[in-house]
């Protein structure tokens, strides 16, 4: 595998620490978690113990006080072993924690950041049955009643929902204003009228829970509005731009894992008196995969560095997410091919990585949405 040559010493040490945790604590549970469609509680505790659930949160609130880039490295390292576990850390850091850090009041940060760093899982609840790519077609409603807001509606495909204690929920507080009425709310699992509904049975990343949320006169204190009233659309857009880099990192790590498994296998498996790796046709296939993975890594790292530096990164995030998701699917598919018949069985890990890769082109903005973002950004880059 290509060495991580563009990392500082501290970044490399952090990456290696997370990768070691993934190999020692996560790897033995991957198959059982996938089969049961459940995140192992011990693995989840380990994520908190290692400080991976509050990487950017300030140290005075129990977090790591580190960078967005570090969060991306953690996602990448975990995804080499299990993309399901990586997405738990991804959503927690790039969506939930970042939304609180950027738009939360001091009281909200005081109440939630410490818990999110030490014990609470968070979810980001934007999607609905009729609002996927068209995120602002959401039907959930919020009505002010005295000192609280009352939310009604249904959210679908919410990552981490089975484990989460806090949800960033988007609802329209003024439908007459269209998307300008959308507002973000911090909803605790125990609030009256809130419930986690059906858990989806998925093709891939099965240990990562995906559930519906039911809002039936859900009561939310007025102080739990996140950001300004009616500015939820801005929170959603800007946060998802950051989240797409996280998905890029997840897909990058998946591709790296698939390629590593493949290299190990083709260097041992013999046919016609020599290892598969010695055939020129296979060599060329591996070279193409290595090229793709390296290009994806540079795109993901560049987008994350731009974000940390305070530069515009919207186009770069879209490019990283789009390209890395394509590379992940292509690499995992080629891995199954090169494993041959056993690659189609659950005896080897590439079968699972192939299933896990598919979601990369779909969530946090489909491939077509990323292409649209990139195309629209071309004028501003000229």
Q: How far apart are CA 99 and CA 102, in angstroms?
A: 5
Is 91 in contact with 240 (CB distance < 8 Å)?
no
* Marked catalytic residue, from 56, 128, 316, 364: 364
Say if CB 30 and CB 349 are below 8 A apart: yes
Are the C-beta atoms of 259 and 292 separated by less than 8 Å?
no
Place of tokens 């519906």: 212
Length of the chain: 382
* Catalytic status, residue 163: no
Pull the structure tokens for residue 128: 């609905």
Classify residue 379 by burial, with Cβ atoms within 10 Å: 0-12, 13-18, 19+: exposed
Compute how many other C-beta atoms are within 10 angstroms of the C-beta atom of residue 281. 8
H-assigned helices in the chain:
9-21, 30-36, 41-49, 68-81, 83-90, 98-103, 106-118, 232-266, 280-309, 314-339, 350-357, 367-381
Quick one: 186 exposed, middle or buried, by C-beta within 10 A (0-12, 13-18, 19+)?
A: buried
Query: How many CB atoms sit inside 10 A of residue 61's CB?
Result: 19
The answer to whether 246 touches 71, Cβ cutoff 8 Å, is yes
User: For the CA atoms of the chain, what is the radius of gyration?
Assistant: 21
β-pairing, 274-275 with 270-271?
antiparallel
Angle (CA) 375-381-382 rounded to 5° is 100
Half-sphere exposure of 156 (CA within 13 A, CB side): 12
Active-site residue list = 364
């Amino acid at each position: 595998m290509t060495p991580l040559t563009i990392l500082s010493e501290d970044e490399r040490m952090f990456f290696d620490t997370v990768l070691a945790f993934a190999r020692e604590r996560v790897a033995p549970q991957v198959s059982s978690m996938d089969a049961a469609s459940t995140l192992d509680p011990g693995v989840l505790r380990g994520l908190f113990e290692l400080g991976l659930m509050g990487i950017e949160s300030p140290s005075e609130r129990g977090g790591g006080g580190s960078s967005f880039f570090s969060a991306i490295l953690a996602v990448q390292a975990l995804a080499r072993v299990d993309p399901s576990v990586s997405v738990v850390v991804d959503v927690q850091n790039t969506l939930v924690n970042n939304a609180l850090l950027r738009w939360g009041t001091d009281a909200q940060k005081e109440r939630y950041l410490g818990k999110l760093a030490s014990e609470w899982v968070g979810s980001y609840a934007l999607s609905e049955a009729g609002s996927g790519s068209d995120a602002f077609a959401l039907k959930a409603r919020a009505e002010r009643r005295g000192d609280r807001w009352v939310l009604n509606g249904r959210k679908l495909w919410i990552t981490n929902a089975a484990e989460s204690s806090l949800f960033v929920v988007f609802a329209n507080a003024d439908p007459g204003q269209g998307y300008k009425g959308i507002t973000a709310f911090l909803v605790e699992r125990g609030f009256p009228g809130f419930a986690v509904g059906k858990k989806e049975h998925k093709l891939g990343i099965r240990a990562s829970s995906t559930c519906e949320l039911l809002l039936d006169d859900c009561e939310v204190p007025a102080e739990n509005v996140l950001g300004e009233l009616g500015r939820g659309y801005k929170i959603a857009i800007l946060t998802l731009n950051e989240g797409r880099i996280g998905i890029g990192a997840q897909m990058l790590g998946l591709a790296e894992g698939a390629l590593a498994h493949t290299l190990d296998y083709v260097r041992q498996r013999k046919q016609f008196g020599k290892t598969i790796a010695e055939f020129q046709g296979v060599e060329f296939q591996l070279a193409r995969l290595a090229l793709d993975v390296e290009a994806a890594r540079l795109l993901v790292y560049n987008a994350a560095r731009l974000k940390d530096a305070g530069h515009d990164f919207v186009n770069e995030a879209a490019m990283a997410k789009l390209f890395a998701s394509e590379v992940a699917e292509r690499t995992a598919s080629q891995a199954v091919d090169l494993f041959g018949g056993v690659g189609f069985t659950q005896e080897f890990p590439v079968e699972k990585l192939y299933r896990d890769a598919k979601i990369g082109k779909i969530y946090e903005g489909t491939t077509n949405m990323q292409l649209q973002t990139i195309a629209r950004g071309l004028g501003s880059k000229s």
